[in-house]
């Protein structure tokens, strides 16, 4: 029997409950001091829509349902009532965004479906696997559903199948993986009930809970009140150190060591820690010429400098692609600047990108060339995926992937270090600090924003020769940056 619960305004939702599990202070600030929240970056905003798109697409697993999603946040009561009416009536045995409220908690379940006379719950996640946070999310929903009087038989988390390979038609039943998490949700019910009580008590406090900063600030998600909670931490603090783990940094913090100048050399420090500490205190860059020479030995002539842009999709649309495979957008190549060679590739979104890119690589990169780029992990993933999808030319593409030299290793492996970089190792910051003059102004400030812009353009079929220009400019800049950064390091080595 479906219970009729009081409809006072809810205190918690799925997201705020998870926020409280991470940190009750964050929950309090979100509900009572929202104005202290950090401004979300454009990159964060660009990532939010993906999960919604996949959730809506997954409704095709159970066609013909009724959508109970409220038209605005203020209309959740209507959604609760609508859900109740459908369950008690015979309108449908499938409900999308089924909405329930119990114990001050409001949930909207992606899919509620009656099968063989029993209700099953389905929560869809835009990911390739299940995380502990997703399990906690399911446990909360199970708690609200059960106590609302819904006799849930099984609760499933649904995520994209990492082994699914798109062929000529999308097989939606194979695209998604169903994970039965019912027993796990049941095992967490007492924790959920206790956590709800803790959250409610925290929300009525006159001031925020006294919770110090810690590893929970970024686990499982970066908190959006770091600017407030971390305001007592000076800009040049131990938390900027690259060679110390987060655990080591918080151990130092608990001992009262916050400023870098307060950190004294210790015999337990390895050479890289000693070097970084010395560089930070002196305010001078560090360059390990011996390591650079070893790094330089990997580079074989001829050299081609590359700038790449790609994006990933949870739902593949090209033959032989898997979920979240890298789809190419633009690739710029620059050879030795004295030769004046400069080639670029920009994908036609209406045509299979693999064939386009394969021909471009074959015609524009010498068979024995070394490919130099910066932050080239996505490009390497693309080439390895392309090699797997192109049986006839896969061997040559795989070999090319093995000849990529990523200049980011110079920073990751502590071959070069500049204290003014702090923890920002983006191309823009490195160019600024190392005084590397770029070629033109970047049309996008990051790969995330550039890829998101392309997704918007291609989904609306607006990618033309004219609208492709910003993406070509972006990869041109990245190719030029790789070339100039490489020259910067060679000059450093020669001057040592």
Query: What residue spans define the domains of the chain?
Result: 14-202, 232-283, 293-495
| Residue in the block written with tokens 């890289």 | 272
**Strand-by-strand arrangement of the 66-67 sheet:** 66-67, 94-102, 105-115, 118-125, 152-160, 176-180
Give tens-digit pLDDT for 381-429. Answer: 999 999 999 888 778 999 999 999 999 999 998 899 898 888 888 888 8
DSSP labels, 186-217: HHTHHHHHHHHHHHHHHHTSSS-------GGG
Q: Has residue 378 got a pLDDT over 80?
A: yes
293-495 topology per CATH: Nucleotidyltransferase; domain 5 (3.30.420)
Distances (CA, A) of 419 to 220, 258, 276: 28, 17, 8
Supply angle C-alpha 471, 410, 278, rounded to 5.
130
Contacting residues for 37 by C-beta, under 8 A, at least 6 apart = 29, 30, 224, 225
Rounded to whole angstroms, the Cα distance separating 449 from 455 reads 10
Strand-pair category, 370-373 with 342-346: unpaired
Q: Has residue 271 got a pLDDT over 70?
A: yes
Give tens-digit pLDDT for 143-201. Answer: 999 999 999 999 999 999 999 999 989 999 999 999 999 999 999 999 999 999 999 99
Give tens-digit pLDDT for 441-457. Answer: 678 888 888 888 887 77
pLDDT, average across residues 371-381:
94
Q: What pLDDT is stored for residue 42 in this prediction? A: 73
232: Cα separation from own chain's centroid: 28
Q: How confident is the model at residue 136 (pLDDT cuts 50, 70, 90)?
A: very high
Q: Has residue 380 got a pLDDT over 70?
A: yes
- What tokens does 18 get? 């998870």
Strand-pair category, 326-334 with 342-346: antiparallel
% the chain with pLDDT above 90: 59
If you average pLDDT over each of 22-26, 271-275, 367-371, 448-452, which comes out highest? 22-26
Strand-pair category, 370-373 with 404-406: parallel
The contacts found for 200-204 with CB under 8 angstroms, 24 or more apart, are 200/11, 200/12, 200/104, 202/20, 202/24, 202/25, 202/27, 202/28, 203/11, 203/27, 203/28, 203/31, 203/32
Rounded to whole angstroms, the Cα distance separating 109 from 9 reads 18
Pick the CATH number of 14-202 from 3.90.320, 3.40.50, 3.40.640, 1.10.10: 3.90.320
- What tokens does 298 get? 């990997």
- What tokens does 134 get? 């997703």
Phi, then psi, of 102 in degrees rounded to 5: -155, 140
Q: What pLDDT is stored for residue 49 in this prediction? A: 58
Give tens-digit pLDDT for 186-235. Answer: 999 999 999 999 999 999 999 999 999 999 999 999 999 999 999 999 98
Kindly state the DSSP code that residue 325 receives in the 8-state scheme: P
Rounded to whole angstroms, the Cα distance separating 403 from 69 reads 50
Whether the Cβ atoms of residue 323 and residue 315 lie closer than 8 Å to each other? yes
pLDDT, average across residues 360-386:
93
**Strand-by-strand arrangement of the 404-406 sheet:** 342-346, 326-334, 303-312, 370-373, 404-406
Full-model pTM = 0.90
Q: What pLDDT is stored for residue 48 in this prediction? A: 64
Helix ranges (H only) for 283-426 are 289-296, 353-364, 377-389, 394-402, 409-412
Give tens-digit pLDDT for 275-287. Answer: 889 989 988 898 9
Answer positive or negative: Cα dihedral of 256, 262, 266, 268. Answer: positive
Whether the Cβ atoms of residue 430 and residue 478 lie closer than 8 Å to each other? no
Give tens-digit pLDDT for 88-117. Answer: 987 889 999 999 999 999 999 999 999 999
The chain-wide mean pLDDT, for the chain, equals 89
Q: Has residue 5 got a pLDDT over 60?
A: no
């Amino acid at each position: 029997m479906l219970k009729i619960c009081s409809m006072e305004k809810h205190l918690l939702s799925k997201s705020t409950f998870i926020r409280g599990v991470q940190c009750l202070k964050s929950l309090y600030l979100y509900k009572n001091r929202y104005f202290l929240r950090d401004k979300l970056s454009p990159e964060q905003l660009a990532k939010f829509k993906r999960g919604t798109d996949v959730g809506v697409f997954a409704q095709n697993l159970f066609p013909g349902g009724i959508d109970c999603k409220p038209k605005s946040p203020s209309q959740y009561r209507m959604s609760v009532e609508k859900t109740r009416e459908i369950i008690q009536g015979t309108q449908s045995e499938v409900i999308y965004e089924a909405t329930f409220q119990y114990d001050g908690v409001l949930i909207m379940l992606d899919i509620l479906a009656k099968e063989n006379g029993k209700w099953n719950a389905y929560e869809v996640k835009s990911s390739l696997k299940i995380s502990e946070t997703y399990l906690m999310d399911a446990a909360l929903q199970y708690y609200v559903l059960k106590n609302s009087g819904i006799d849930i038989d099984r609760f499933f988390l649904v995520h994209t199948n990492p082994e699914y390979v798109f062929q000529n038609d999308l097989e939606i039943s194979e695209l998604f993986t169903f994970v039965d998490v019912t027993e796990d949700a049941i095992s967490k019910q007492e924790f959920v009930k206790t956590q709800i009580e803790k959250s409610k008590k925290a929300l009525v406090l006159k001031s925020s809970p006294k919770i110090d900063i810690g590893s929970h600030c970024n686990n499982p998600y970066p908190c959006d009140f770091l600017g407030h909670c971390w305001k007592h931490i000076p800009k040049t603090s131990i938390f900027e150190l690259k060679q110390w783990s987060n655990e080591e940094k918080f151990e130092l913090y608990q001992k009262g060591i916050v400023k870098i100048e307060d950190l004294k050399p210790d015999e337990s420090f390895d050479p890289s820690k000693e070097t970084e500490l010395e560089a930070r205190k002196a305010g001078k860059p560090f360059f390990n010429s011996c390591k650079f020479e070893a790094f330089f030995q990997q580079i074989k002539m001829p050299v081609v400098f590359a700038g790449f842009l790609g994006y990933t999709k949870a739902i593949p649309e090209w033959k032989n692609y898997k979920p979240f495979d890298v789809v190419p957008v633009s690739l710029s190549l620059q050879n030795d600047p004295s030769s004046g060679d400069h080639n670029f590739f920009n994908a036609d979104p209406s045509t299979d990108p693999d064939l386009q890119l394969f021909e471009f690589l074959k015609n524009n990169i010498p068979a024995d060339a070394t490919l130099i780029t910066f932050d080239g992990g996505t490009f390497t993933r693309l080439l390895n995926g392309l090699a797997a999808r192109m049986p006839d030319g896969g061997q040559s593409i795989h070999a090319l992937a093995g000849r990529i030299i990523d200049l980011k290793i110079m920073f990751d492996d502590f071959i070069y270090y500049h204290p003014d970089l702090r923890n920002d190792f983006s191309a823009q910051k490195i160019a600024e600090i190392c005084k590397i003059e770029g070629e033109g102004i970047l049309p996008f400030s990051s790969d995330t924003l550039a890829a998101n812009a392309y997704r918007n353009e291609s989904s609306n079929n607006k990618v033309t020769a004219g609208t492709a220009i910003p993406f070509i400019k972006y990869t041109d800049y990245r190719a030029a940056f790789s070339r100039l950064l490489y020259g910067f390091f060679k000059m450093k080595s020669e001057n040592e």
